[in-house]
Structures are given as structure tokens and as C-alpha cells.
Amino acid sequence: MKSEASIETILKAISNKIRLEILDYIIEEKFLIKNNLITHFKLQRAGLDFHLATLEEAGFIGLLEIKIKGRKYVFVYPKATWKINLDLLETKRLQDFLPSELIENDFPNLTERFWIGSSEIKNPHTIKKILESLAIKLGGHSSDNFCQRCKNALGIMKCSKCLKLYCTECAKIIIRSDKAKITFCYDCISDQFS
């Protein structure tokens, strides 16, 4: 495929059922005269030209004019095939972690599950985004949902000691010597070491 073909150009080329059928046929036949496509697909010349131009612009096909015995023929040949690769993200199993119904009383345990209990979702930024979205829908404008320490950000981390909710700036995940994770707010950390 041409390196200069943009994603938009490629998506435009494969977003039409007739174009996909034309492309499949060209790939199957390998090298054919453009008139064969008109006959096979029962298309008007202008319609076929539009589809072929779109496929060529995306880098899927090539068009080649050859004069044979004084007559000009346009041959069509495949240059590339397409396939869609899905790169699975850590959120692929998000439905396994989130309940189908969530009430405010469930939220602290859900935060603990995401920060400490999730082996699939490890990216703190992803966890923060998910929990902040849920906290907002649960009434994020209520003072009860803000961090118990700074009162400025949503409380999305449950302290393992005092069981209150804190923001990610006022609480941290600590990995114990037995590799277990726990979450402590800075007040409880301070109490532990004073």
C-alpha cells in the first residue's frame, strides 16, 4: 500500500460494498481488462472509474494502459490487500469489572477492586479516568464525593486503614513485602510512621 495513503483514504476505499466486491474480484483475477469489470459488475463506465480511482488512491490497485495492435486497453491489477488488525487494550474486559448497576455505596469497594484487585487493568491513568467518570455520574458535585483530605478532587481511592475516599494526589498504593497491594492516604501513612 502506498505510504502516502491516509487512513481516511483507506477507510473511504473499503467503506463501500461494491468497491470491496470489485477489489476482491481484482485480487482473485490478478490481471484483467477494465472492460471485464464493467461487464462482470454491470456498472456504467463513470461509476466504475470512480470506484477504481478510489481504490487506486488508497494504494489497493494499479491501472496500466497498454496499446495492443493499435488499440488502447486499461489493465487492472492488485497492489495490496487489506486486513484489520485489532490491538487489544487492557480495557477489553472492562465489562467483567464493572457491575451492570452501581449505587453510591458500592463505589468505595469498586475503587479498591480497580486499584488493588485488578490484574488486567494496570495503567493508573486508565483506572483514574474510569473511576472519575463513574464518580461524576454518581453525583460528583456533592462534597461527599470529594477527597477527604484536599477537598479539591474526586475521591477515587479507598484508604485500606481509615476506609475513606481520597484523590490520587492524597493517597498512594503501597506494595507490601508479601507483594500484596494496599492503599493508604497520606494521613494514615503519617500516623504509621510517627
What integer pLDDT is reported at residue 1 of this predicted model?
41
Q: Is the pLDDT of residue 124 over 60?
A: yes
What integer pLDDT is reported at residue 167 of this predicted model?
95
Calpha distance 104→139 (Å, rounded): 8
Half-sphere exposure of 192 (CA within 13 A, CB side): 10
Calpha distance 80→102 (Å, rounded): 48
Calpha distance 178→100 (Å, rounded): 33
What integer pLDDT is reported at residue 86 of this predicted model?
76
What integer pLDDT is reported at residue 158 of this predicted model?
94
Calpha distance 49→57 (Å, rounded): 12
What integer pLDDT is reported at residue 35 of this predicted model?
92
Q: pLDDT of 61-104, one tens digit each?
A: 999 998 888 899 999 999 988 777 778 888 888 888 788 888 88
Q: Read off the C-alpha cell for 137.
A: 455520574
What integer pLDDT is reported at residue 101 of this predicted model?
87
Give mean pLDDT, residues 135-150: 82
State whether the Cα torsion 138-144-148-151 is positive or negative. positive
Cα dihedral 15, 21, 27, 28 in deg (nearest 10): 160
- Per-residue confidence at 2, pLDDT binned at 50, 70, 90? very low
Give mean pLDDT, residues 131-152: 84
To the nearest whole number, what is the mean pLDDT of the chain? 88
If you ran DSSP here, which 8-state letter would residue 117 be given? I
Calpha distance 171→115 (Å, rounded): 11
Residues paired with residue 73 on neighbouring β-strands, in sequence order: 66
Between 50 and 179, the more confident residue is: 50
Q: Is the pLDDT of residue 3 over 70?
A: no
What integer pLDDT is reported at residue 194 of this predicted model?
67
Do 175 and 159 meet the contact criterion of CB atoms below 8 Å apart? Answer: no
Do 63 and 75 meet the contact criterion of CB atoms below 8 Å apart? Answer: yes
- Cell 494521613, residue located: 187
Give mean pLDDT, residues 175-186: 91
